[in-house]
Copies of this chain bind each other. A is one copy, B any other.
Amino acid sequence: MSDIDPEAFARLAREVRILTDIEAIKRLRYAYCRCMDTARFDEFRELLTPEFSCRYIGASYEFVANGRDEFVQMIRESFNTKVGATHQLHHPEIDIVDETHAEGRWYLQDVVYKYLTNELIYGTLIYDDRYEKRADGWKLAHSEYYRVIEVVEFPPRPPRFTGRYLEEHGYRLPE
């Protein structure tokens, strides 16, 4: 016969739920970057709430979107065949607010080269995110960032890409 305190069990179950939710939110955000860089925009779309909004403050640009449809369309066109891009997310600091709300901070590193303008943009930035749990899992609801460093170079010639996934799989710009 057990003498386990039901409250101790409930507390443990809550701790496990928090750890499981943190892991799920990490995966959500990793999938977000992977889907961008490999132009998987059907999968990408499912990572966002329909009401998704963002405010991304670069040094040389500002990117604001209201609603998932607008955002996905803008992102899709940015990840076109004339671009080389890699976005990697680090340093998850995730707070589970309640069973369906969470907040997260991340530290991204990105490198983007655009053939059309010969711009090489790279650097790092800090994200502040909000997440919501919906019927089919955790989604990104809102996201903001500010830059730690951003460098824009116009190199004398393009990087010597021997591989560039978007060359074949990226969005095809209208001629």
Contact = CB atoms under 8 A, between A and B. Distances in A.
Number of copies: 3
B162 A59 contact: yes
A30 B106 CA distance: 9
Interface string A95-139: 000000000010101010000000000011010000000000000
A134 to B, nearest CB: 19
Chain A interface bracket (under 10, 10 to 19, 20 to 34, 35 or more): 35 or more
A5 B1 CA distance: 8
A92 B132 CA distance: 21
Interface of A: 1-6, 8-9, 12-13, 15-16, 19-20, 22-23, 26-27, 30-31, 33-34, 37-38, 58-60, 84-86, 88-93, 105, 107, 109, 111, 123-124, 126, 146-153, 159-165
